[in-house]
Amino acid sequence: MLMARIAYFEGTDPLVLAKLAAEGIETIPVANTWDGHGKYVNHLSKGEVDVVVGPLHKVIPVRPEQVKATDLLFACENFDIPVVLVAPASHLEKARKVLGDVGANVHVTAPAGFEAQIRKHL
């Protein structure tokens, strides 16, 4: 049986990651283009991870970068890797708006539903 694997951006809730790791789910760090936290998210390959998770702000480029969230998550779209981003419950609509059209495989959730949304993709 293959073990589930989560790729996570820096700042992802460590207690959620620890709980999943204690259940035998592998976790690997991934990076956006700026933070160098782990493997560059766009270098993920098909079947390498089951889901990418992290805080919304990790996929929102800063100016003067000429990239969009869709550029940062291209490999996820290309290889059908689900992405679960967390944002405050009070700001979910604003979060979706700032992301733009990132496709149906990118999910924005409040902290209370973060773990449950991750588990849907394992």
Q: List per-block mean pLDDT (blocks of 10 residues) for the chain, which spans 122 residues.
A: 87 97 96 88 95 96 78 94 98 94 95 98 96
pLDDT of residue 2: 61
CATH code, domain carrying 38: 3.40.50.880
Q: String of b and e for 67-94 (b: at least 16 CB within 10 Å)? A: ebbbebbebbeeeebbbbbbbeeeebee
Q: Global pTM?
A: 0.94
pLDDT of residue 36: 83
Could you list the residue range(s) of the whole structural domain that residue 15 is in? 5-119
Count of domains forming the chain: 1
Rg (CA), the chain: 13
| Sheet strands (E) in 1-122 | 5-9, 26-31, 39-40, 51-55, 83-86, 106-109
Q: How far apart are CA 33 and CA 35, in angstroms?
A: 6
